[in-house]
Structure 1
Amino acid sequence: MVAMAAGPGGWLLPAFRLRLFATVLQVVSAFGAEFSSEACRELGFSSNLLCSSCDLLGQFSLLQLDPDCRGCCQEEAQFETKKLYAGAILEVCGKLGRFPQVQAFVRSDKPKLFRGLQIKYVRGSDPVLKLLDDNGNIAEELSILKWNTDSVEEFLSEKLERI
């Protein structure tokens, strides 16, 4: 076949290689597919799920969850990379007294320091920070229930542009 490819039908071998490359590329793309933050939440996975956690599923006879887990997880190195988001929504309950550290942040001038940060009051909600992509979609969602004022400010300094 190699001799034939060098003759008049010499285009066969390069065409075969190109088709093989395209097939491999499709398989790799499908394998590395990720779910949206919202889809992962609906599947029951946290937005800050590390891929090392997916490795533990076999210990609990839950290997059927592995593909979904892998589609929702973040590699440790990827998790640490600095990424600026277009905006964020800090959802809090109107009765902030239950969360004095979050209350101190919300009632201070600090939220005004971050471009795209919105405070949204949701009845009965625990404090949640939703990071938004360039299209205004939720890219990441984090519970800040146990965070103190400095932690909220430091995290937002890393994730949002300061004014």
Structure 2
Amino acid sequence: MRPPALDWSVDNCTIARAMAILGERWTLVVMREVFTGVRRFEDMRVRTGVPRQVLTNRLAMLVETGILRREPYQEPGARVRHEYRPTPMGLELYPMLVAVGEWGDRYLADPEGPPLRLVHRDCDAQVHAELHCAAGHHLTDNRDVVSQPGPGARRR
């Protein structure tokens, strides 16, 4: 049986467009750093081991696409430098990073367990990503989700 998805073009696929921005190895590592409070270039470089030019390029791309914003700061006696902070667009990536982290914790963690726990600030309970439909139903089985052509779909 031929999948119905083959009837529709993927030329304007928003997943492909998102991955053009987020799919490079270091991009989500940079976002992890920003979300954990590491926002200065040199701190990111030292902590992650990202090559200087790669980090420069990645931060520039994230600023250019509107995911991060540069905010100036100056240490006493030093030149002005910049911190990188998430924009509202960037903050919306957080659930995706939580989901990627959960997947990594489940399948790729060292025998002692994952190196990072994400917890709710108010109660210290572990945070996890979940799927809900717009009607409020909690989806526990990914097979309960089906794809349908959206308003921007184009026939092949």
Higher helix share: 1
Q: Same fold (TM over 0.5)?
A: no
Relative to the length of structure 2, the TM-score reads 0.23
Relative to the length of structure 1, the TM-score reads 0.23
- Of structures 1 and 2, the larger Rg is shown by 1
